Amino acid sequence: MREPETPTASILIVDDEPANLMAMQAVLEPLGQRLVWAQSGEEALRHILQEDYAVVLMDVKMPGMDGFEAARLIRQRPQVLPVLFVTAFADTAEEMIRGYEAGAVDYIVKPLRPQIVQNKVSMFVELWRAREQLRLSLQRVEERDRHLAENQRESEARERFISILGHDLRTPLSVISMAASVLSENDISPEQRERASARIRRSTERMSRMIRDVLDFARGRLGGGIPIAPRDCDLGVLCQQSVDELRGAHPDRDVQLLQTGEDLRARADGDRAIQVIANLVGNALQHGQDPVRVTARAEPAAVVIEVENRGPPIPPELVSRLFEPFGKKERTRTSGLGLGLYIANGIVRAHGGVLQVRSGPEPQTTFTVRWPR
């Protein structure tokens, strides 16, 4: 099958001075993307209404509609469109704060340093490409769903998902952008450099998890199923690895691991098993109260893993829909795409196992996995 071509992104450069437009074009041409000019805020808004852009580089001080006003209007759009303000060293800190309040995600400071400008813009171009690939994947899923006559409720859920995906990608993107700005400075301390690098790593990992979940969802919906590579594994060891990682990510939460000394070996895809445990514990941390307990025990034909949390029980009308894609969105939402339980259930089923949930009447919810040996 022919590999799809990498899409070309459009970049909008807004400045009332032609010389500045030409200078910015010279800096960005090596990126190989489509560059569009606008010489006023009004012209920039007309361009944005006509096509999709990966990023806007906006001069702050322009006659008529200045950069601040244009950014505020762009921010009102339902689609996420990053705005980078281009400004001089002489601009005050108050003006920079005003720019962030108007909706800018970062500043590019004059005189232009080509490598820094290219690095910042490339980040948004890559995000746009990833979003385009996800959009095309979801489009293929929707086409398949139309042939299968999916009901209206699922169609509405997919639309909500696209909106949630755009919103959730905005947060780690902003963190990466701000951390990259810190790293671009020459006079930062080693501690500041390490903190900025750690923020970039965490945000990148979060975006990678989102993309992995979307791809798993697409595979499952297109009929191929979630791929697995079973081998002999100790599920007790995998539970320990997963819980250790989650404790590190949530040091303020009480995550407990209780497992017997029995034989907890089974035939499983180890990476996928860890994904199941992480999704179930992540769900408990997101919607439940401490302590969150993970228990692993042996049965003659299966290894049983239970994830239990305290807190109000799940309403009965939602229990039957928990393993549907986006089903959790009707519960109180704090983060995530709403695919975790759907994917966990798909992985367990691919192994021939069963994932069940029990909630209430006491303030407790337990997810139980029976993993065949």
Taking residue 144's Cβ as centre, other Cβ atoms within 10 Å add up to: 14
Note whether 220 and 253 are same-domain residues: no
The residue among 174, 202, 225 that closes a domain is 225
- Both tokens assigned to 109: 């400071």
Note whether 177 and 251 are same-domain residues: no
Secondary structure (DSSP) of 244-264: HHHHHH-TTS-EEEEE-SS--
What range does the domain containing 283 cover?
Answer: 231-372
Question: What are the backbone dihedrals phi and psi of residue 61, each rounded to the nearest 5 degrees, phi first?
Answer: -100, 105
Q: Please, what is the average pLDDT of the chain?
A: 80
Note whether 32 and 136 are same-domain residues: yes
Q: Which of these, 160, 216, 192, 183, lies nearest to 349 by C-alpha position?
A: 216
Note whether 38 and 64 are same-domain residues: yes
Note whether 200 and 236 are same-domain residues: no
Determine if the pTM surpasses 0.85: no
Note whether 217 and 243 are same-domain residues: no
Q: Which of these, 325, 369, 373, 317, lies nearest to 156 by C-alpha position?
A: 325
C-alpha span between 193 and 181 (Å, rounded): 11
Note whether 200 and 238 are same-domain residues: no
- Both tokens assigned to 191: 């501690």
Q: Provide the CATH number for the domain around residue 240.
A: 3.30.565.10
Q: Which of these, 61, 17, 23, 22, lies nearest to 39 by C-alpha position?
A: 17
Helix (H, G, I), strand (E, B) or coil at 222: coil
Helix (H, G, I), strand (E, B) or coil at 230: coil
Note whether 272 and 180 are same-domain residues: no
The residue among 174, 197, 225 that closes a domain is 225
Burial of 275 (0-12, 13-18, 19+ CB in 10 A): buried
Q: In the prediction, which pLDDT does 334 show?
A: 43
Q: In the prediction, which pLDDT does 223 show?
A: 56
C-alpha span between 178 and 233 (Å, rounded): 41
Taking residue 231's Cβ as centre, other Cβ atoms within 10 Å add up to: 9
Q: Over the stretch 301-320, which tens digit does the pLDDT of each residue have?
A: 999 999 999 988 888 888 87
Q: In the prediction, which pLDDT does 194 show?
A: 81
Q: Provide the CATH number for the domain around residue 192.
A: 3.40.50.2300
Q: In the prediction, which pLDDT does 333 show?
A: 42
The residue among 209, 225, 241 that closes a domain is 225
Query: How many domains is the chain partitioned into structurally?
Result: 2
Q: What is the DSSP letter of 2?
A: P
Handedness of CA 97, 102, 103, 105 (dihedral sign): negative
- Both tokens assigned to 156: 């509405």
Q: Over the stretch 197-232, which tens digit does the pLDDT of each residue have?
A: 877 776 676 666 666 666 666 666 555 567 778 899
Note whether 128 and 248 are same-domain residues: no
Structural contact between residues 349 and 329, judged by C-beta atoms closer than 8 angstroms? no
Residues of the chain with pLDDT under 70: 1-6, 89-93, 145-175, 186, 202-203, 205-225, 260-261, 325-338
